[in-house]
Structure 1
Amino acid sequence: MHFQGKSFLTISDFNRKEVEYLIDFAIHLKHLKKNNIPHQYLKGQNIALLFEKSSTRTRAAFTVAANDLGAAPEFLGANDIQLGKKESVQDTAKILGSMFDGIEYRGASQAVVADLAEYSGIPVWNGLTDDWHPTQMIGDFMTIKEAFGTFDGIKLVYCGDGRNNVANSLLVTAAILGVDVTIASPESLFPEKSYIQMAQEFAKESGSAVEITADIHTAVNGANVIYTDVWVSMGEEEHFEERVNLLLPYQVNESLLENVSGDFIFMHCLPAFHDTNTVYGKNVAEEYGIEEMEVTSEVFNADYAKQFEQGENRMHSIKAIMAATNGHLFIPDLK
Structure 2
Amino acid sequence: MTGKVPDDLLRVSDLAPQTLVELLDLAVGMKQEPLGWERDLRGGAIGCVFEKPSTRTRVSLAVAAHRLGMAAIVLNRGELQLGHGESVGDTVRVLSSYLDAITVRTFDHAVVEQMADAASVPVINALSNTHHPCQSLADLLTLREHFGTLAGMTAAFIGDGTSNTCNSFLAACAASGMHLTIAAPPGYETDEDILEEARSLMAQTGGSVSLTTEPIEAVGAAQAVYAEVWVPMDKGHEREERTERLAAYRVDDALLAHAPREAVAMHCLPATRGQEITSEVLDGPRSLVWRQAQNRLPTAQAVLHTFITTARRCTA
TM-score by length of 1: 0.89
Any residues of structure 2 matched to 1:308-319 within 5 Å, and which? 308-319=290-301
Q: Could you report, residue by residue, the CA deviation over 1:13-63 in whole angstroms, capped at 9, with x for unpaired residues?
A: 111111111111111110112xx6454322110111100111000000100
Q: Write the distance in 2 (CA, Å) between the matches of 1:85 and 1:201.
A: 43
Structure-1 residue corresponding to 2:16:
15
Aligned residue for 1:293? 275
**Aligned equivalent of 1:192:** 191
Q: Say if 2:25 is the partner of 1:24.
A: yes
Residue 3 of structure 1, CA deviation: 5.6
For residue 246 of structure 2, give the secondary structure of its aligned residue in structure 1: helix
TM-score (norm 2): 0.94
Deviation at 1:237, TM superposition (A): 0.9
In 2, distance between residues paired with 1:330 and 1:94?
17
Structure 1 equivalent of residue 256 of structure 2:
257
How far apart are the structure 2 equivalents of 1:123 and 1:10?
Answer: 13
Residue-by-residue CA offset, 1:221-244 (whole Å, 9 max, x unaligned): 111111111001112111111111
Aligned-partner SS, 1:235: helix
Q: Contact 1:248/1:293 (CA < 8 Å) preserved in 2?
A: yes
Conserved in 1, the CA contact under 8 Å of 2:219 and 2:225?
yes
The answer on 1:182 being equivalent to 2:181 is yes
Distance 1:104 1:266 in 2: 29
CA distance in 2, matches of 1:293, 1:4: 39
Q: CA deviation at 1:85?
A: 5.1
SS state of the match for residue 157, structure 1? strand
| Structure 1 residue 303 displacement after superposition | 1.2
Q: 1:37 to 1:120 in 2, by over 3 A?
A: closer
Contact in 2 for aligned 1:220/1:259 (Cα 8 Å): yes
- The code of the aligned residue for 2:52 comes to K
Aligned partner of 2:289 among 307, 315, 320: 307
Residue of structure 2 in register with 1:172 after alignment: 171
Specify which structure has the bigger relative contact order, considering alpha-carbon pairs within 8 angstroms and separated by 6 or more residues: 1
1:262 deviation in Å?
Answer: 3.2
Aligned to 1:147: 146
Write out aligned runs for 1:76-95 (5 A): 76-83=75-82, 86-95=85-94
1:324 is aligned, of 290, 306, 315, to 306
CA shift, 1:5, in A, is 7.4
Stretches of structure 1 lacking an aligned partner (at least 5 in a row): 275-291
Question: After TM superposition, what 4+ stretches of structure 1 lie above 4 angstroms from structure 2?
Answer: 1-5, 328-331
Alignment match, 1:245: 244
Distance in 2, matches of 1:330 and 1:103, equals 14
What amino acid does structure 2 have at the position aligned with 1:19? L
Report if aligned partners of 1:105, 1:113 keep a CA contact under 8 Å in 2. yes
Deviates more, 1:2-11 or 1:72-81: 2-11
Count of aligned positions: 312
Q: What does residue 280 of structure 1 align with? A: none
Query: C-alpha separation between the residues in 1 aligned to 2:177 and 2:280?
Result: 31
Cα distance per residue 1:96-133 (max 9 Å; x no partner): 01111111100012222122122120011100001100
- Taking a change above 3 Å as real, the CA distance of residues 72 and 164 of structure 1, as seen in their structure-2 partners, is same
Question: Which range moves more in the overlay, 255-264 or 50-59?
Answer: 255-264
Shift of 1:301: 1.0
Give 1:82 deviation, angstroms.
3.9
Counterpart contact for 1:53–1:78, Cα < 8 Å = no
Q: 1:188 and 1:87 mapped to 2: Cα distance?
A: 37
Q: Secondary structure at the match of 1:188?
A: coil
Q: Hey, what does 1:204 align to over in structure 2?
A: 203
SS at match of 1:79: helix
Residue aligned with 2:230, SS = coil
1:269/1:307 contact within 8 Å kept: yes
Aligned amino acid, residue 235 of structure 1? D
Distance 1:77 1:312, change over 3 A: same
Q: How far apart in 1 are the matches of 2:194 and 2:69?
A: 37
| Structure 1 residues 273-309: Cα deviation after superposition (integer angstroms, max 9, x where no partner) | 11xxxxxxxxxxxxxxxxx100011111111101111
SS at match of 2:187: helix
Question: 2: distance between equivalents of 1:257 and 1:151?
Answer: 21
Matched residue type, 1:301:
D
- The answer on whether the counterparts of 2:12 and 2:171 sit within 8 Å (CA) in structure 1 is yes
Asked if structure 2 preserves the Cα contact closer than 8 Å seen for 1:217 and 1:259, the reply is yes
Question: Is contact 1:53-1:106 (8 Å) kept?
Answer: yes
Q: Does 1:107 align with 2:106?
A: yes
Deviations along 1:201-220, whole A, 9 cap, x unmatched? Answer: 11111111111110111110
Q: Distance in 1 between matches of 2:58 and 2:263?
A: 29
